[in-house]
Amino acid sequence: MTIIVDAMGGDNAPLAIVKGALLAAKETDCTIALIGPKERLYELLAQESPEGIPANIITVGASDVITNNEPPVKAIRTKTDSTIVQGLTIVKDGLADAFVSAGSTGALLVGGLLICGRIKGVDRPAICSLYPIVGSVPAVLVDAGANAECKPRNLYEFGLMGSIYVEKVLGRENPRVGLANIGAEAEKGTSLTKKAYELLAGSKLNFVGNVEARDIPEGTCDVIVADGFTGNIILKLTEGMVGRLSKAMASRLPAEMMAAIRSQTDYSEYGGAPILGVEKPIIKMHGSSGPKAVKNAILKAADFVRGDVIRIVKEQIR
């Protein structure tokens, strides 16, 4: 298996990406292909791994970079030698199995659609982010921000794809799927959530009904379904609350407890967020990913490929 890693994406590229690839190389027998300016990458690899570059790390040349500030569609169409366009094309062509990047979310979404293609039957691909539960295993949140405005059918698809991801990649059977809403009863919320509730309740998913925001941090479901606007609010507010409360309490809590809470709630540690609904495995890392987050994302990408998530989504979406 070969994982292409965008060496130039994110705030800490390329050094953190190179370091993360070296960490991952020790824990997997997959080939890790760093894509970017080859000579610079080679120099960094030699510098960070003076004992020799691991045999399962290779470099692939790409001279350009898409930044977060560029309009995604234009960037994908014009920057043909960028790491994202080249990396996705290699995956599309079957020369590699997955693409991992901390670069522009918009460009990854557009590139995923235009280069790799949408899975037939999936109306809107979505970002499936791990959602930290303090003191327990994480849930996933779909959509974490790809689609600010959604139709009811989209939310059903998010539930289906998230459920398959949790089962096949996180190894949890019969995942509980909950719809983020402002009341427990079926008729609560917006016209969107009411119709999505009906679709989810009528599906084969293990739909546990509406989940009120108050209960989300309790881990009452494995898959939190939301439109991308609501999902992004949930994810970012959780991050903000952890930050604020940790700061308030840091001076009074034992260091190891703070570290445990931080590690449980720092979703960058969990290994990136797959874009579900496209024909190939694409994993979006947090823009501020450090070496450990990069390592985890590469390892999780391999789990995603092994879990055969895309084939199963295709089968079940019909």
Would you tell me which residues interact with a copy of itself (CB under 8 A)?
133-135, 145, 148-149, 180, 182, 189-191, 193, 212-218, 228-230, 232-245, 247-249, 252-254, 257, 261
Q: How far is the CB of 45 from a copy of itself (least distance, A)?
A: 34
Angle between helices 191-201 and 152-168 (to 10 degrees): 50
Is residue 203 within 8 Å of residue 156, measured between CB atoms? yes
CA–CA gap between residue 311 and residue 318 (Å, rounded): 12
**Residue 198 structure tokens:** 């009906």
- Residues with Cβ within 8 Å of residue 74, at least 6 apart in sequence: none
Closest approach, Cβ 257 to a copy of itself, in A, equals: 6
- C-beta of 51 vs 187, nearer to a copy of itself: 187
Which 3 state secondary structure label does DSSP give 17?
Answer: helix
Q: Whole-number minimum distance, CB 96 to a copy of itself, in Å? A: 31
- Measured torsion, CA atoms of residues 37, 42, 48, 51, in degrees rounded to the nearest 10: 170
The nearer residue to a copy of itself, 40 or 262, going by C-beta atoms, is 262
Rounded to the nearest whole angstrom, what is the least distance from the CB of residue 291 to a copy of itself in the complex? 23
Q: Round to whole Å and give the CA distance between 15 and 8.
A: 9
The distance of closest approach from Cβ of residue 217 to a copy of itself in the complex, given in angstroms and rounded to an integer, is 4
- Strand arrangement of the beta sheet that strand 223-225 belongs to: 57-61, 31-36, 2-6, 98-101, 282-284, 273-276, 126-131, 139-142, 223-225, 176-181, 206-212
| Cα distance between residue 166 and residue 169, in whole Å | 6
Q: How far is the CB of 234 from a copy of itself (least distance, A)?
A: 6
CB of 252 to a copy of itself, least distance (A): 6
Beta strands 2-6; 31-36: pairing state: parallel
| Closest CB to a copy of itself among residues 120, 247 | 247
Tokens for 164? 């398959």
Give 148 or 201: the residue with its C-beta nearer to a copy of itself. Answer: 148
User: Given the complex with a copy of itself, which of 201 and 248 has the nearer CB atom?
Assistant: 248
Residue 216 or 309: the one with the smaller Cβ distance to a copy of itself is: 216
Of the two residues 20 and 231, which places its CB atom closer to a copy of itself in the complex? 231
The residue assigned the tokens 């130039």 is 8
